[in-house]
Amino acid sequence: MRSSGILMHITSLPSPYGIGTFGADAEAFVDWLVSAGQKYWQILPLSPTGYGESPYQSFSTFAGNPLLIDLDDLVANGLITKAACEQAEFGADPSFVDFDKVYRSKMRLLNEAFKSFTEDVGYLAFVQEEAEWLDDYALFMAVKEQYNLQSWQTWDKDIRFRKADAMKAAREEFAERINFWKFVQYTFIRQWQKLKRYANKNGIKIIGDLPIYVALDSADVWSNTDLFLLDVDCMPTKVAGVPPDFFSKTGQLWGNPLYDWERMKKENYLWWVKRVKKCAELYDTIRIDHFRAFDTYWAIPYGEKTAVNGKWEVGPRMEFFGAINKELGDIDIIAEDLGEVFESVTELLAASGFPGMKILQFGFNPEHADSDHLPHHYPQNSVVYTGTHDNSTLKGWLKNEKSETRRMFKNYLRPAFLESINHAAFRALYQSRAKLVVLPMQDVLGLDDKARMNIPSTLGGNWIWRMKKDKNTAGMAGKIRGLVRTYFREDKKKT
Q: What is the pLDDT of residues 329-344, one digit of tens each?
A: 999 999 999 988 899 9
Residue 365, pLDDT score: 80
Q: What is the pLDDT of residues 24-43, one digit of tens each?
A: 999 999 999 999 999 999 99
Q: What is the DSSP letter of 469?
A: G
Identify whether 390 is a catalytic site residue. Answer: yes
Reference 423, options 12, 431, 8; nearest CA is 431
**What is the CB neighbour count within 10 angstroms for residue 286?**
21
Reference 71, options 109, 122, 116; nearest CA is 109
Identify whether 176 is a catalytic site residue. Answer: no
* Catalytic entry in 25, 73, 336, 337: 336
The average pLDDT across 297-314 equals 96
* Catalytic entry in 390, 401, 448, 449: 390
Assigned domain for 302 exists: yes
Q: How far is CA 150 from the centre of its chain?
A: 24
* Catalytic entry in 25, 289, 295, 337: 289
Residue 492, pLDDT score: 67
Assigned domain for 266 exists: yes
The average pLDDT across 74-81 equals 98
Confidence band, pLDDT 50/70/90 cuts, at residue 494: low
The average pLDDT across 156-179 equals 97
Residue 102, pLDDT score: 97
Assigned domain for 489 exists: no
The average pLDDT across 403-415 equals 93
> Is the pLDDT assigned to residue 495 strictly greater than 50?
no
* Structural domains counted in the chain: 1
**Average pLDDT, rounded, for the chain:** 95
> Is the pLDDT assigned to residue 490 strictly greater than 50?
yes
Confidence band, pLDDT 50/70/90 cuts, at residue 472: low
Assigned domain for 51 exists: no
Residue type, 175: A
Percent of the chain with pLDDT over 70: 99
* Separation between Cα atoms, residue 471 and residue 32, nearest integer Å: 11
Distances (CA, A) of 212 to 153, 209, 279, 289: 22, 9, 12, 6
* Separation between Cα atoms, residue 161 and residue 171, nearest integer Å: 15
The average pLDDT across 97-122 equals 97
Q: What is the pLDDT of residues 46-64, one digit of tens each?
A: 999 988 899 999 999 999 9
Assigned domain for 140 exists: no
Q: Please answer whether residues 18 and 90 qualify as being in contact, where contact means their C-beta atoms are separated by less than 8 angstroms.
A: yes
Give the relative orientation of helices 24-35 and 474-486 as an angle to the nearest 10 degrees: 40
Q: What is the pLDDT of residues 351-374, one digit of tens each?
A: 999 999 999 999 998 787 899 999
Assigned domain for 326 exists: yes
Residue 340, pLDDT score: 81
> Is the pLDDT assigned to residue 114 strictly greater than 70?
yes
Q: What is the pLDDT of residues 223-268, one digit of tens each?
A: 999 999 999 999 999 999 999 987 788 999 999 999 999 999 999 9
DSSP track, 394-452:
HHHHHHHS-HHHHHHHHHHH-PPTT--HHHHHHHHHHTSS-SEEEEEHHHHTT--GGG-
Reference 213, options 245, 252, 267; nearest CA is 252
Percent of the chain with pLDDT over 90: 92
Q: Please answer whether residues 491 and 45 qualify as being in contact, where contact means their C-beta atoms are separated by less than 8 angstroms.
A: no
Contacts of 423-427 with C-beta under 8 Å, sequence gap 24+, read: 423/479, 425/360, 425/386, 425/394, 426/386, 426/480, 426/483, 427/483, 427/487
Residue 322, pLDDT score: 97
Assigned domain for 165 exists: no
Identify whether 336 is a catalytic site residue. Answer: yes
Half-sphere exposure of 174 (CA within 13 A, CB side): 25
The average pLDDT across 67-94 equals 97
- For residue 289, the enclosing domain spans 224-354
pTM here? 0.96
Assigned domain for 475 exists: no
